[in-house]
Amino acid sequence: MKPTTRRSFLQTTAAAATTSLIAQNAHAQGGDELKVGLIGCGGRGTGAAAQALKADRNVKLWAMADAFDDRLNQSLTVLQADREIANKIDVPAARKHVGFDGYQRVIASCDVVLLCTPPHFRPIHLRAAVQANKHVFAEKPCAVDAPGVRSVLETCVDARRRNLSVVSGLCLRHDNGFKDTVQRIHDGAIGDIVALQANDLRGPIWRRERTADMSEMTWQMRNWYYYTWLSGDFNVEQHVHYLDVCAWLMRDTYPVKCVGTGGRQVRTAAEFGHIFDHFSVVYEWANGVKLFSHCRQQTGCAGDMSGHALGRRGTALLTERRRGLILRVDGTDRVYEGVTNNMYQTEHDVLFASIRNARPVNNGEYMAKSTLMAIQGRMAAYTGQSVTWEQALNSREELSPQGYTFDSRSPASAVAMPGVTRLT
């Protein structure tokens, strides 16, 4: 039997998609019940489902899908234990779908889908959802390679044509303090930006133990964060948040080139897949502004998750951990003192309000381009070369397995070697 590739996955999805646009505004007005489907039942997916159920009075969690049944059932147990939403959950065994193709059945039965799988699958699932005329919440990042980014950009244009909402999980854009501070900067509070800095310096993350019965594909799926084809590496998977903030500060324009370095100093064992444990990338915009980007995941080191803007009149610090959004102008600090919010909840509030009000929200362009910016930095660090925006966008490197079964051969997992690994 011929294995299912990403290309054939997309072709199958297109052939199976609903072609009628009748459903696109079925729930735009009134109090009709919205059926929500969760695709990807890890911690973030479970959180997203809870927030979706709290965002609207008349919603039901109707179907769930995950590659692994234990993850799906654990997620459902956690959600059912939340008294605020327990009565909004209706997921019998028939609507619990396990395996690589479960997403198709979730999409077919729901009105709104939450895409929370490892990022590799986002372009496939997003296209399937939009072609079936379903509104989407898409966790960040939205791809792990340039072909995936190009697919997402095309799909989001299609979503706009169909009047569908696509809300991104780049949640800092929904934080009241960040929004206020960015607006003040755009209004000239610190003058023209001359330089930016983005830090994501943290300790190690989770890791699953390997058991004797695991195939290589099962092992990599269980430990997806450590494989570039699944996560994009952590410069993409997590640091994308503060890279996106910097692009936002630059009025959603993107760097024309970058150069970077990175490697593995601590996570060198085979159990850590082939991602790096540190990156340092310098991005440059067409007007000469440079962003100095740093991320690291190592034990016993100083932590810092923040964005910084240096302007001709002052500076800005943007950090979610302190709610410390500070504009320093002429030697005086101006701290954000407005209403704080749960940005994770707000992004779902925005999604469901857009559906009810028939005013679609489409975050597709910045969602895709900020993802590409992170990929561009990874490419520069992996290869040791200067990488232009056009090179990143037009890259032919496709990080896909030969097929989507637990017996399929996973992509080559060699650790990148700067100066040896080539741009493609």
The residue extents of the domains of the chain are: 6-172+346-362, 175-339+372-393
Of 128, 112, 132, 127, which Cα lies nearest the Cα of 48? 112
Distance, in Å, from the CA atom of 244 to the CA atom of 233, rounded to the nearest integer, reads 16
Cβ count within 10 A of residue 422: 9
According to DSSP, the residues that pair with 198 across neighbouring strands are 293, 307
Q: What is the DSSP letter of 175?
A: -
Distance, in Å, from the CA atom of 101 to the CA atom of 288, rounded to the nearest integer, reads 46
Distance, in Å, from the CA atom of 148 to the CA atom of 146, rounded to the nearest integer, reads 5
Tokens 């939205």, residue located: 142
Strand 314-318, strand 326-329: pairing: antiparallel
Q: What local confidence, expressed as pLDDT, does residue 321 receive?
A: 67
Q: What local confidence, expressed as pLDDT, does residue 30 receive?
A: 55
* Contact assessment for residue 47 and residue 116, using Cβ atoms and an 8 Å cutoff: no
Q: What local confidence, expressed as pLDDT, does residue 327 receive?
A: 84
Distance, in Å, from the CA atom of 305 to the CA atom of 330, rounded to the nearest integer, reads 25
Tokens of 181: 């501070």
Q: 406: helix, coil or strand? A: coil
Q: 238: helix, coil or strand? A: coil
Per-residue pLDDT of the chain (424 residues; tens, 9 = 90+): 344 555 555 455 444 444 333 344 444 445 799 999 999 999 999 999 999 999 999 999 999 999 999 999 999 999 999 999 999 999 999 999 999 999 999 999 999 999 999 999 999 999 999 999 999 999 999 999 999 999 999 999 999 999 999 999 999 999 999 999 999 999 999 999 999 999 999 999 999 989 999 999 999 999 999 999 999 999 999 999 999 999 999 999 999 999 999 999 999 999 999 999 999 999 999 999 999 999 999 999 999 999 999 999 999 999 986 555 788 887 888 888 899 999 999 999 999 999 999 999 999 999 999 999 999 999 999 999 999 999 999 999 999 998 999 999 888 778 999 999 999 9
Q: What local confidence, expressed as pLDDT, does residue 412 receive?
A: 72
Q: What local confidence, expressed as pLDDT, does residue 22 receive?
A: 34
CATH of 6-172+346-362, one of 3.30.56.10, 3.30.70.60, 3.10.440.10, 3.40.50.720: 3.40.50.720
Edge-to-edge strand ranges of the sheet holding 304-311: 332-335, 326-329, 314-318, 304-311, 193-202, 290-297, 278-284, 257-263, 387-388
Amino acid at 386: S
Contacts of 327 (CB under 8 A, 6+ apart): 181, 184, 185, 189, 190, 314, 315, 316, 333, 334
Q: 232: helix, coil or strand? A: coil
Q: What local confidence, expressed as pLDDT, does residue 414 receive?
A: 86
**Superfamily grouping for domain 175-339+372-393:** Dihydrodipicolinate Reductase; domain 2 (3.30.360.10)
Distances 391 to 33, 257, 367, 382, 399 between C-alpha atoms, Å: 45, 9, 19, 14, 16
Tokens of 418: 């700067």
Q: What local confidence, expressed as pLDDT, does residue 24 receive?
A: 40
Strand 193-202, strand 290-297: pairing: parallel
According to DSSP, the residues that pair with 326 across neighbouring strands are 317, 335
* Helix pair 364-383, 240-249: axis angle to 10 deg: 120
Tokens of 276: 């790096």
Q: What local confidence, expressed as pLDDT, does residue 17 receive?
A: 43
